[in-house]
Amino acid sequence: MALPAEQLVLTVAAAVMLGAASSGAAHRAKYPHDKSSWLLQMWTVAIVIINAYVLTVRTVAAEDVRHVLTNRFDVTLVFATTLTAVAACAQHLSRIRGLDGFLLPVAALFQVFAFVQVGEPLLRYDTATWFVVHQLSLIAAGTFLVCGGAGGAVYLVLWRALRRKQPSPLFGHLAPLQAWERFSRWNLVIGFVLLSFGILTGICEATQSVRAEQATRQAWLTDAFIVGSFIVWGLYGAAIAASVFVPRFRGRRAAQLALGTGALLVFILLVVEKVSKVH
């Protein structure tokens, strides 16, 4: 189903604004004392308001809150909105200042890919309760895990700047390495727990689908999205276990794995999910 003209214009405007905000965040990283930073903050909040308005209008029109969780366009737009909202918070919190420079480009990617989902069939489900919990868990897990990957990216940028042993505008503007390591680790832990819960509820939903003979067990076990989800789950579990039990793995290596796995997660959510036949 095509988007109404008003929603199309607003969503496109938000995508363009996200691109501009990403550039502004990169500029702010180079010139942290630029007085125009307040404009970037207002700009980011405006994007959240626009997307929230579009989602609210679509939910009211559908007369069912579950519509946001079954429509692929809406789900992708929710991801873009939550990541932008976290970026807006990061612009006001000194402890995670600089995180927006990595979250806003990812949010822009979700915003653009939302248009690819226009006209796609609604997500199928057999048990409303399992489906709602499953979707909410995965959205929350994705947000935390992407934030953990972004925290790892900030850690690596700051680590390389320190290795050069040269003055950098990042010093004094960003939190120390230890703070970013803790931020990334805790986001991964919370995200992993939510992802585990989301996968478990997804298994329950898949079981209902097999019983209803809507999809075979073989189709679920060999689906690219399902296999990719389990691979990501295993990588995050291994990363968390290594950071707890293997001290040498902490720091740069943990940040690299958080960033790499976060990028793989985004790829699965945006690209692999597109070719899934049962999800």
DSSP letter string, 115-163: HHTTTPPPPP-S-HHHHHHHHHHHHHHHHHHHHHHHHHHHHHHHHHHHH
Among residues 234, 223, 242, the alpha carbon closest in space to that of 264 is found at 234
Measured in Å, how far apart are the chain's first and last C-alpha atoms? Answer: 19
The mean per-residue pLDDT over the stretch 88-117 comes to: 86
Q: What Rg do the C-alpha atoms of the chain give, in angstroms?
A: 20
Banded pLDDT at 193 (limits 50, 70, 90): very high
pTM for the complete prediction? 0.85
Give the dihedral sign, CA 16/22/26/28.
Answer: positive
- State pLDDT tens for residues 27-72: 776 666 666 677 778 888 998 999 999 888 888 887 667 767 777 8
Please, is 252 exposed, middle or buried when counting C-beta atoms within 10 Å of its C-beta (0-12, 13-18, 19+)?
Answer: middle
Asked if 170 and 161 touch (Cβ cutoff 8 Å), the reply is: yes
What does each C-alpha distance from 31 to 34, 100, 119, 168, 171 come to in angstroms? 6, 14, 42, 10, 11
Give the lowest-confidence range in 21-25, 72-76, 275-279.
275-279
Residue 25 has pLDDT above 70, yes or no: yes
Cβ neighbour number for residue 245 with a 10 Å cutoff: 8
- pLDDT (mean) for 248-258: 84
Sign of CA dihedral 108, 110, 114, 116: positive
Query: What is the rounded CA–CA span in Å between residue 193 and residue 201?
Result: 13
Query: Is 175 within 8 Å of 111 (Cβ atoms)?
Result: no
Tell me what pLDDT residue 159 has.
Answer: 85
Closest C-alpha among 277, 141, 267 to residue 221: 277
Q: What is the DSSP string of 54-76?
A: HHHHHHHHHT-TTHHHH-HHHHH
* Residue type for position 37: S
| pLDDT at 190 > cutoff 90 | yes
CA distance 227 to 26: 35
Rounded mean pLDDT, 213-238: 77
Residue boundaries of the structural domains of the chain? 1-123, 124-279
Chain centroid to CA 117: 17
The residue type found at 173 is H
| Band of pLDDT at residue 144, cut at 50, 70 and 90 | very high
> Torsion angle of alpha carbons 134, 139, 145, 149, nearest 10°?
150
Angle of helix 128-164 relative to helix 177-211, nearest 10 degrees, comes to 150
Is the Cβ–Cβ distance between 187 and 151 less than 8 Å? yes
